[in-house]
């Protein structure tokens, strides 16, 4: 076992890769920029940029429905996360597999 420390963003992406995720939808923002930095260096997961977090959520839902694969969404904290609520509720009510990853600011900044 290695004692090497990995950034949380790298761990999230590696976990998604292990689950065979190939596409992620999202809209970058301040608190998820470390995740987007890691995604930039990742050749195994494609990012689909949307104009709004709500669109990203519904795109992930549609992707999951049409392919049978898990839809994955990245969004920033605060309003970015709340913009995903309708898509999350839709996926939950219809038992659609979707993973949503949102950022959070440091506790001192709250």
CATH number where 16 lies: 3.40.50.970
pTM of the model as a whole = 0.91
Count structural domains, the chain.
1
Domain that holds residue 92: 8-104
**How far is 88 from 73, CA to CA, in rounded Å?**
10
**How far is 93 from 90, CA to CA, in rounded Å?**
5
Segment-wise mean pLDDT, segments of 10 residues, the chain, 110 residues: 86 97 97 96 98 98 98 96 98 98 85
Helix, strand, coil percentages for the chain (3-state, nearest 5): 50, 15, 35
User: Does residue 110 lie within any of the structural domains?
Assistant: no
Q: What was the pLDDT predicted at 3?
A: 86
Q: What was the pLDDT predicted at 1?
A: 55
The pair of structure tokens assigned to 49 is 């940029």
């Amino acid at each position: 076992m290695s004692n090497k420390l990995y950034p949380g963003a790298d761990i999230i992406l590696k976990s998604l890769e292990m689950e065979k995720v190939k596409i992620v939808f999202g809209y970058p923002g301040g608190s998820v920029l470390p995740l987007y930095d890691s995604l930039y260096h990742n050749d195994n997961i494609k990012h689909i940029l949307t104009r709004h977090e709500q669109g990203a959520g519904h795109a992930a839902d549609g992707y999951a429905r049409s392919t049978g694969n898990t839809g994955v969404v990245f969004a920033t904290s605060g309003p970015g996360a709340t913009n995903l609520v309708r898509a999350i509720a839709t996926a939950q009510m219809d038992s659609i597999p979707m993973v949503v990853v949102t950022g959070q600011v440091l506790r001192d900044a709250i």
